[in-house]
Amino acid sequence: MKLTKKLRFLFSLTALLVCMCMSTVAVNADTLGDYAVETTTSADSLKTYADGKISLADAKTLVQNYVSLVQQLSTMTESEREYVEENYSSQPQTVAIIQAYNKSVDTEKYGAFVSSKDDVKVVENKDEDGTDAVDVTVTLAFEKKDYILTLHVDCFDTIGASVNTVTIKAKGEGEESLGEKMADAAGNTLMGMGTVFLVLIFISLLISCFKFIPQIMDKLSKKSSVVEKPEVVEEISETVTANEEDDSELIAVIAAAIAASEQTSTDSFVVRSIRRR
């Protein structure tokens, strides 16, 4: 039993020592890996562009300043951004980022600004006059959409790089493949044709309803004639009654005149109306 306990103790101690050694090796490996990454990052940051006029580290610092401006702009309303643009006209960099933001970014549709991604890129190019220039780009992540911030730098002095123009555009805008463009065109064509067919169907239904208009007009005219006939009959009866009264009065007047001329009494006279056939 004692031998068994000793063997178990030795086995446990050996396993513990092995685990400690393995963890030490893993820590050292991680440390070496982190050191290698930092060394590589430092080497990349020291990389220069435009004949050594700007480094990647300088470009990242420049981008970070504009990212901070974008973050502030995302919390403002449109009227507040316009106010800042009017009152900071002496700062062309601020005005440029505000104009680019108002032109391209729709925070109501795609949400607020979240952060910028660690994907700063520097592309060398030449201006029209042949001077050195670089385009510094970074991805701006909003809640529902990513945008690309591009800083065009063509002025390098002792103070540092100066941004000439600022543009912001939706990620992937203008980079669609031929298949994506064809799919969008097909979708727009189908939508347009569907709209035309719906309009034609509506017009044909409207034209088919024209045949019911005369029938409706006839029914309305018949109803109006039926309603007007009793009024005509009443007018005729009133006219006949009035004519009969007028005839009786006329006969009485004539009889009185004859009696007066002949000096006869009118007591025995009987006035009868003449019925016309």
- Secondary element (H or E) of residue 96: helix 92-104
The Cα–Cα gap between 95 and 154 comes to: 18
Contact between 81 and 69 under an 8 Å Cβ cutoff? The reply is no
The pLDDT score that the predictor gives to residue 49 is 80
| Structure-token pair, residue 80 | 């507040």
Domain boundaries of the chain, sorted by first residue:
8-45, 48-175, 178-277
The pLDDT score that the predictor gives to residue 234 is 53
Q: What is the DSSP string of 186-222?
A: HHHHHHHHHHHHHHHHHHHHHHHGGGHHHHHHHHHHH
Q: For the chain, 277 residues long, give each residue's pLDDT as a single digit of tens.
A: 455 555 454 444 454 444 444 433 333 333 334 434 343 455 566 778 877 778 888 888 888 888 888 888 888 888 888 888 888 777 877 888 888 888 888 877 788 888 888 888 888 888 777 778 888 889 988 888 888 888 888 777 666 677 778 888 887 766 666 776 788 888 899 999 999 999 999 998 888 888 888 888 888 887 766 555 555 555 555 555 555 555 666 777 777 777 777 665 556 555 565 555 5
The pLDDT score that the predictor gives to residue 196 is 93
Q: Which CATH number fits domain 48-175: 3.10.450, 3.10.20, 3.40.50, 3.30.1370?
A: 3.10.450
The pLDDT score that the predictor gives to residue 266 is 55
